[in-house]
Structure 1
Amino acid sequence: MKMRRLLLPLAALPLIGATPRVGADIEVTVTNMRSEDGQVFACLAPAKDSFPDCKGGGGMDLKIPADEAGHFAFHGVAPGRYAIAILHDENGNGKIDKALMIPKEGFGFSRDAPVRMGPPPFAKAAFDVGSEDVVQPIKMRYIL
């Protein structure tokens, strides 16, 4: 009986200090990068108000060196519906450069959402996140 009393607290040791995981991770893989110059801005938007630039609030944004942008992640994402937009700021000036309203730098969206005149609607790029991790492949597009 004494041995059992000693072993019971030892069995609980792996649980001490363990923190429960909060939220899922969204792993993003980016293909078709034209160069490793500059940086990539990524926005994980929870609603159309913050898509595609995360300025409407509630989104998560990342700035990643372009040479490391082939694979990155958003961590601890609460369950919900989200869309991702990415921008390859090749010259590193912090904005998308345009010529006659046409982007000169690369961009991409979750679910490979189609682009017409401007970014796709949130609904076309949106995907669901639950308690499991999600992988979102994004193909970078360049017009000029």
Structure 2
Amino acid sequence: MVKGLRVSMLLLAVMGNLAWSFSAKANFNGKLTVEIDGLKNQEGQVCASIFGNSKGFPGDGDRVLQKQCTKITENPLPITFNNLKAGSYAVAVFHDQNNDRTLNSNLFGIPSEGFGFSSNPEIRARAPKFSEAVFLVAGPDTNIQIQLKYF
């Protein structure tokens, strides 16, 4: 009986450690590196915004989780976001050639600067939906690539 009790206590201890291990991993803060490729020149900067849900994606700056603009020093250009919880995200980027932090467009509303989205969805007559650009952050380091498009 004592031997059975020891085995049971040992199993409980192992199960408790496993449960703690899984919960600790679920509470990590991950790092996302976005590699932006296809820049047509090194003028200006690249601005990237990360969204945690469909509300405001891709253009509402008030709904952005994190945003940063980075001077272009190389092509492809890496941009890193830190402290992301595990979950689903979407990223919108644009090549801000004139440094005004706005995706400029012509009289018809067609972007006059390069732009792109996570998951590189096909661009039609509208911006993609969150569900078309979504990706998963599920570990401490996530890397994605975005190919810029110019019209």
TM-score (norm 1): 0.78
In our comparison, the structure showing a higher alpha carbon Rg is: 2
Structure 1 residue aligned with 2:129: 121
Structure 2 residue aligned with 1:135: 143
Alignment-mate amino acid for residue 138 of structure 1: I
1:85 to 92, 108, 129: 92
What pairs up with 1:68-107 in 2 under 5 angstroms?
A: 70-99=77-106, 100-107=108-115
Q: Which runs of 5+ in 2 are unaligned?
A: 1-26
Q: Distance in 1 between matches of 2:101 and 2:82?
A: 23
Q: Distance in 2 between matches of 1:46 and 1:57?
A: 9
The verdict on how the C-alpha distance between 1:36 and 1:127 changes in structure 2, with shifts beyond 3 A counting, is: same
Aligned length: 124
- RMSD of equivalent CA atoms: 2.0
Query: 1:58: Cα distance to partner?
Result: 5.2
Tell me, yes or no, if the aligned pair for 1:37 and 1:67 is still in contact at 8 Å.
Answer: no
Q: Distance in 2 between matches of 1:28 and 1:54?
A: 20
Query: 1:129: Cα distance to partner?
Result: 1.0
The verdict on how the C-alpha distance between 1:94 and 1:55 changes in structure 2, with shifts beyond 3 A counting, is: closer
The verdict on how the C-alpha distance between 1:54 and 1:77 changes in structure 2, with shifts beyond 3 A counting, is: farther
What pairs up with 1:32-47 in 2 under 5 angstroms?
A: 32-47=38-53
Q: Which runs of 5+ in 1 are unaligned?
A: 1-20
